[in-house]
Structure 1
């Protein structure tokens, strides 16, 4: 175990859509039961952003339950969650997909993916006259992005390769904060950006001259297996294998509750947006539009999840093998129920 924890602490991978403050404890639950008679309380860790948006209705309902099922906390960085998984202090975690693959290797198969929780996350933002609909139109342009050395960069590199281009065909300037990019777009009307949600929507709401013209997930689908019809599976939910083996019914219940929560959020955008703000993820004003017109939060499980994640990781592996831990995960990585 000591060797595994040390390995985990070396994994420092950022998420593509983060905002907010320090870790926030959300639900006060009991410790995981040690007897069959006691209720199982699942300890959850999630990254602020689209990965966590889909569970807020589930958590809110759980607060009112006579016997709460969840003890959850939200974090702003993946490297806050990694050691918790290694030490067995978290049962289920919502993390970037490539991090899940890396953790699978570092823990020697100690985690499994149970669903996809975030997909259509990265969007092109520009002034109307510089709108683009494919990365092929970025040749010669200045592109601002976050996520150097993480999913946004690897996704861009993959799509450029499909268009017979490389990073040398444009000028990519990586910034640490999406808010900095919004300011730069205002100063340089000829520049374009690829931003994660909800920042892309916020940028358009704050500046009437900006437009959302491009979905990276849409272009990704053009080069995917059409029988899968999968876009960018940017976030997944993983479970510790020991927890899965000991409490399979609790895991199945989570999968069902997660899907019901996502369905509610998408069917009730105003109420869902208010919950997202209440949990400190993003402002409700931006999230109403996000939930109405885009699909960053999802809950896809079973064989469809496996096919989607497997193809996504294969594409990342083509560009940067280190992105998925140096090798593709085997079938045991996927829990299909």
Structure 2
């Protein structure tokens, strides 16, 4: 089986947030244009785009359903050629979108809003990741927000979404980030993993899959860690909203939407099918995803899938939650969404 390029991630942000595990041979072949998948039969019912280039963060989060589609070659119904790339840093992600190098990008939702507000001609077509942030602490130690006073907490991506969500929740729970605790920022989640696994840190905020990965790694070193708090649950307690955060989704180049609407509809349908596969077949999904992830065991991946909070929600259906999320982030850092809420045209409507 061919390997696609897996490189160290940001994001989280997501993240989101969203984070990486390492290079894979399969991943390397994915970025070679000559290795991209070629269509073998013509489907007259769909006006095919000549080439569709998709990018996603490395690791197991929003990329998971995309790996399934790439493995199935299901997008060849709407494109003559499909190329899959991973992005390593937010700058790389933004440069490819702004430069027209990709048509479909898996991104933190606020990144999509920021780019749109800066004049990049894209639309958000869906939200797929609904919160993957966790507070990590010593196993058996109950943690409340009050307990964090005097503690040192390691957080990746200063000024980015994971850090801002943590800061927002501290504020909502009556803590001053400057006075009540020490926050040590790192450039990537992987740095936090190394510190925790080496016993050089005790408390951290991490996205999946690194949150689960660090618990497993630390255990091998004789250090017992746990997910002490779900920041999704804490978000609900602080805001009165549902225990989920519209963290990441797909943005699509508007030219593709206008010129090949059937291909975009196909993309939406195939993403939804892929997510259902991940939910219904965790063992098979673990095997498939492990083939794209060097060093991750299929059993580990199968157990991780429920914590990824993957759900297909169209941009229109998610709009209210997205706008609330953007408003809360902007209350701490207006620039994170480009200074204002995106207008209605940001949200794709078939």
TM superposition score category, shorter chain reference: 0.7 to 0.9
1:155 equivalent in alignment to 2:165: yes
- In the superposition, the TM-score normalised over structure 1's length comes to 0.84
1:144-293 mapped onto 2 (5 Å cutoff): 144-168=154-178, 169-186=180-197, 188=199, 191-208=202-219, 209-224=224-239, 226=241, 229=242, 231-280=244-293, 283=296, 284-291=298-305, 293=306
Runs (5+) with no aligned partner, structure 1: 1-11
CA contact under 8 A between 2:133 and 2:206: conserved in structure 1? yes
User: 1:308 aligns to what?
Assistant: 321
Out of 93, 101, 111, the residue aligned to residue 99 of structure 1 is 111
Please, which moves more after superposition, 89-98 or 54-63?
A: 54-63
Q: Find 1:298's aligned residue among 283, 288, 311.
A: 311
Who is 1:142 aligned against?
152
- What is the CA–CA distance in structure 1 between the aligned matches of 2:131 and 2:293, rounded to whole Å? 21
Assess, with a 3 A threshold, how the Cα gap between structure 1 residues 104 and 64 changes in structure 2: closer, same or farther.
closer
Could you say if the C-alpha distance between residues 230 and 243 of structure 1 is closer, same or farther in structure 2, counting changes exceeding 3 Å? farther
Counterpart contact for 1:201–1:289, Cα < 8 Å: no
Give CA deviations for 1:51-73 in whole Å, capped at 9, x if unaligned: 21122111111179688663322
Q: Using the TM superposition, name which of 217-226 and 255-264 deviates more.
A: 217-226
Aligned partners of 2:152 and 2:184 also within 8 Å = yes
Residue 21 in structure 1 maps to residue 23 in structure 2: yes
Residue 149 of structure 1 deviates from its aligned partner by: 1.8
Matched, 1:126 2:126: no
Distance 1:73 1:315, change over 3 A: same
| Structure 1 residues 199 and 305, CA gap change in structure 2 (3 angstroms) | same
Asked if structure 2 preserves the Cα contact closer than 8 Å seen for 1:197 and 1:296, the reply is no
Shift of 1:136: 4.3
Alpha-carbon distance in structure 2 between the residues aligned to 1:282 and 1:224: 38
RMSD: 3.0
CA separation of 1:238 and 1:261: change in aligned 2, threshold 3 A: same
Structure 2 matches for 1:311-330, cutoff 5 A? 311-330=324-343
Contact 1:230 1:308 in 2 (8 A): no
Secondary structure (helix, strand or coil) at the match of 1:294 reads: helix
Paired residue secondary structure (1:195): strand
The superposition leaves residues 8-38 of structure 1 with CA deviations (integer Å, 9 ceiling, x where unpaired) of xxxx99643321239745371469x9x9986
Q: How many residues align?
A: 319
In the alignment, the residues of structure 1 paired with residue 77 and residue 172 of structure 2 have an alpha-carbon distance, to the nearest angstrom, of 53
CA offsets 1:259-318 (integer angstroms, 9 cap, x no match): 111111122122212222222377134322111x41343322143221222221111011
Tell me the alpha carbon deviations over residues 49-103 of structure 1, each in whole angstroms, 9 at most, x when there is no partner: 3121122111111179688663322222232232222232211110112211111
CA drift at 1:188: 4.7
Q: TM-score, normalised by structure 2?
A: 0.81
Contact 2:47 2:263 in 1 (8 A): no
Contact 1:136–1:160 (Cα < 8 Å) also in 2: no
Is contact 2:46-2:263 (8 Å) kept? no
Between the aligned partners of 2:311 and 2:46, the Cα distance in structure 1 is 33
